Amino acid sequence: MACLPLLLISSAVRIGLNSTRIYEYGFDKYGISDVTQLDRTQLSEIAERLIDYFNSKVDTPQMTVVDRDGREFELFHDYELIHLEDVKGLFRAGYRIQAATLAYIILYVLLLLLWEKGRGQGLAKGTRLGCMVTLGVIAAAGIGALFSFERLFIQFHLISFSNPYWMLNPGTDYLIMLFPGGFWQDVALIGGGIIVGEALLLGGVAWAAPSIYRRHARRRHPMIDGS
């Protein structure tokens, strides 16, 4: 019940983090090429570079880019690099949470299946409760975002980061030019929708599985009553 929400949320974050399509969706929707004066090819390369950095495939997210006037420059300021390092730390923590909760759930299921009594009922009940908790968390976050996404976004940064380097200038700092506030709101909606869909699917299976199992058992053993 406790691990399933963490697993679904951390998995959705990991999928989004490593999806170049989500980055490119934001670039296209918010006209980032016009904002930054960088062509679409370079924007895709930036997305791939960030993904590689967050997955420790490269040591730095820094890149040399060329704008439409032919001016060559390094993309990020020093304080943006510090913030990206902090963000990477959060993502790596998310990876560890995903791995730990997945390992626990697999171990739990294996032990439960080896148990002689109540194995299916316990597994189904735990899954249903975990899905309900997940839906409750997403619903609460969704209601808060509906009234003030910006306030939640700022509060998240105040809690997550111990320095002020996340406070960027959209007129001079390319990190916030690349990923404006609207992009993060879209990502939150997409991620929330994915998590809700996964929770409903798993919860539906867990809800239906005991009844299906009992009907199957009665067919195999007609003398067994409905209890």
Q: Tell me if 66 is assigned to some domain.
A: yes
Residue-level pLDDT at 205: 86
- For the stretch 71-117, pLDDT in tens is 999 999 999 999 999 999 999 999 999 999 999 999 888 887 777 55
The domain of 197 spans 3-220
Q: What are the structure tokens assigned to 208, written together?
A: 């239906």
Which pTM value belongs to this model?
Answer: 0.85
Give the chain's domain count: 1
Judge contact between 85 and 165, C-beta under 8 A: no
Q: Tell me if 153 is assigned to some domain.
A: yes
- For the stretch 139-153, pLDDT in tens is 998 888 888 899 999
Residue-level pLDDT at 227: 43
Q: Tell me if 177 is assigned to some domain.
A: yes
Q: Which DSSP symbol is given to 118?
A: S
Q: Tell me if 55 is assigned to some domain.
A: yes
Residue 222's pLDDT band, with cuts at 50, 70 and 90, is low
| Mean pLDDT, the chain, whole residue set | 89
pLDDT of 156 strictly over 80: yes
CA distance 203 to 188: 22
- Mean pLDDT for 116-131 is 76
Residue-level pLDDT at 111: 81
- For the stretch 21-43, pLDDT in tens is 999 999 999 999 999 999 999 99
* CA-wise closest residue to 71 among 46, 43, 36, 47: 36
CA distance 215 to 221: 10
- Mean pLDDT for 193-217 is 78
Q: Tell me if 227 is assigned to some domain.
A: no
- For the stretch 169-193, pLDDT in tens is 999 999 999 999 999 999 999 999 9
